[in-house]
């Protein structure tokens, strides 16, 4: 975010290989490293290698994915939310008759003709380093390497909203593996009273930050205050700052109220890199993901924005000690999706701050603020194609994403849609 020094934030991540390994010579059609699909277990044979798990799963007609972890093959009859688990290997079988795991039925085409604006970042194999925070006290760090077609955004990510804006809907999709389409793994619906599925709203209002601890905590219903209860339902409105002339007031004072979203699973040493608080350190979304949100931004003098950060930035201190830093180079990564960079401006920018890249790339005026009616913003971070892209559609177009599954064919058409 190229605003004030107090507005520039950071992100983090784990640097694991996902979906970039060749298929097994035995029975695997897809392999995902450091990956788990929790639950839905139908068997747990002990096996010395992951390849043996492929054979077990392919021989069981009910098995659609298996996770090999510490010598056990966890056979599963459904694909749940994808999470990071260090040293775990998820494998999608190819059965003896040549069939891969069952695929999702075709879904309705997405409204590609309704795309009003878009910006795609150049494809490249991305590699570099950042300072991973190992201890918040004293801001202790070590060098960490990240690489891959969308690095560092294959690592666990959080998505951040800053007012003034109204948030109506959120949906996050991730691939099921084995060609099984994309599943909605997390969602939010303001019209349903703020109902959220596999998603919690956080902010940096934890009063323990004044005692040297991480500022992350659950957000209050208006996003301004702290809550110790993750069940508090966010009501979807983020107001502008109460005193924009105060250059040191931070979110809610100098700038609009600010929230970020995470999965409701607490971090462990196996699932999260770097520093995290045992109570409020939550997991982000790893691997490929498509983030969709329907919002309306205020006009006037505010600085509404939507951006993505590697999740370690907020788990440490988004506006203090973290792995992102400020400006260029990008550290562990920040993707500005739709940001007003000047008060009262009608345009929105996108910028990609990643690893050692300097200068960062982007577009200062890729679209305009949706002030008269809502818009749907789509962010694509896809490892297989290397696509990093932002799109804007009409507000009503969110209905096409208000589904549990999107077929691989429909999502591929969206991913490959040409934009400038």
Mean pLDDT calculated for residue range 48-61? 85
Q: Among residues 93, 116, 139, which one ends one of the domains?
A: 93
Q: Where does residue 371 rank: exposed (0-12), middle (13-18), buried (19+ CB within 10 A)?
A: middle
Average pLDDT in the 344-366 region?
Answer: 94
Q: Can you give the pLDDT at residue 26?
A: 44
Structural Rg of the chain based on CA atoms? 21
d(CA 295, CA 110): 19
Number of domains the chain contains: 2
Is the domain of 32 the same as that of 152? no
Instruction: Please provide the average confidence, as pLDDT, over all residues in the chain.
Output: 87
pLDDT tens per residue, range 228-238: 988 899 999 99
Residue 116 lies in a domain: yes
In-domain check, residue 101: no
Query: Which one has a higher pLDDT value, 15 or 308?
Result: 308
For the CA atoms of 31, 33, 39, 43, what is the dihedral angle to 10 degrees? 60
Residue 341 pLDDT: 94
The whole domain housing 54 covers 28-93
Q: Is residue 380 part of a domain?
A: yes
Q: What is the DSSP string of 112-147?
A: GGG--EEEEPPP--EEEEEEEEEETTTTEEEEEEEE
Confidence at 312, pLDDT banded by 50, 70, 90: very high
Distinct helix (H) and strand (E) counts, the chain: 3, 25
Residues 45 and 168 in one domain: no
pLDDT of residue 370: 98
From 69, 93, 117, give the residue that closes a domain: 93
Of 93, 114, 135, which one is at a domain's C-terminal end?
A: 93
- Does 239 lie in the same domain as 139? yes
**Assessment of whether the complete model's pTM goes beyond 0.75:** yes
Q: Is the pLDDT of residue 372 over 80?
A: yes
143-164 tens-digit pLDDT = 999 999 999 999 999 999 999 9
- Going 47 to 49 to 50 to 56, the CA torsion angle's sign is negative
CATH of the domain at 52: 3.50.4.10
List, for residues 78-128, the tens digit of each pLDDT value. 887 777 787 888 888 866 555 555 555 556 789 999 999 999 999 989 999
Digit-coded pLDDT (tens) for 324-340: 988 889 999 999 999 99
């Amino acid at each position: 975010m190229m605003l004030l020094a107090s507005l520039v934030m950071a992100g983090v991540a784990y640097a694991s290989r996902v979906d970039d390994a060749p298929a097994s010579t035995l029975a695997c059609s897809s392999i995902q490293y450091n990956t788990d699909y929790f639950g839905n277990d139908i068997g747990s044979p002990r096996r010395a290698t992951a390849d043996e798990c492929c054979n077990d799963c392919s021989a069981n007609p009910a098995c659609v994915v298996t996770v090999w972890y510490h010598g056990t093959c966890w056979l599963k009859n459904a694909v749940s939310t994808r999470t990071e688990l260090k040293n775990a290997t998820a494998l999608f079988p190819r059965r003896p008759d040549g069939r891969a795991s069952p695929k999702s039925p075709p879904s309705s085409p997405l409204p590609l003709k309704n795309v009003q604006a878009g910006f795609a970042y150049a494809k490249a194999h991305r590699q570099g380093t950042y300072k991973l925070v190992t201890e918040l006290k004293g801001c202790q760090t070590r060098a960490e390497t990240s690489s891959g077609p969308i690095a560092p955004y294959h690592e666990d990510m959080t998505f951040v909203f800053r007012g003034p804006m109204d948030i109506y809907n959120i949906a996050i999709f991730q691939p099921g593996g084995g060609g099984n389409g994309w599943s909605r793994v997390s969602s939010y619906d303001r019209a349903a009273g703020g109902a959220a599925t596999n998603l919690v709203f956080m902010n940096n209002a934890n009063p323990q930050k004044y005692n040297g601890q991480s500022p992350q905590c659950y957000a209050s219903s208006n996003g301004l205050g702290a809550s110790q209860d993750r069940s508090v339902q966010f009501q979807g409105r983020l107001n502008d700052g109460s005193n924009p002339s105060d250059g040191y007031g931070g979110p809610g004072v100098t700038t609009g109220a600010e929230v970020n979203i995470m999965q409701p699973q607490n971090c462990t040493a196996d699932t999260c890199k770097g520093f995290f608080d045992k109570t409020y350190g939550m997991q982000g979304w790893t691997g490929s993901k498509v983030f969709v949100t329907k919002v309306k931004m205020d006009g006037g003098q505010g600085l509404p924005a939507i951006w993505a950060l590697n999740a370690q930035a907020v788990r440490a201190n988004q506006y203090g000690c973290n792995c992102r830093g400020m400006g260029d180079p990008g550290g562990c990564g920040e993707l500005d999706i739709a940001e007003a960079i000047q008060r009262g401006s009608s345009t929105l920018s996108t910028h990609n701050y990643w690893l050692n890249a300097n200068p960062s790339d982007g577009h200062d005026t890729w679209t305009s603020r949706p002030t008269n009616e809502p818009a749907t913003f789509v962010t694509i971070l896809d490892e297989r194609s290397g696509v990093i892209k932002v799109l804007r559609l009409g507000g009503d177009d969110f209905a096409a994403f208000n589904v549990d599954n999107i077929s691989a064919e429909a999502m591929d058409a969206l991913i490959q849609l040409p934009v400038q």
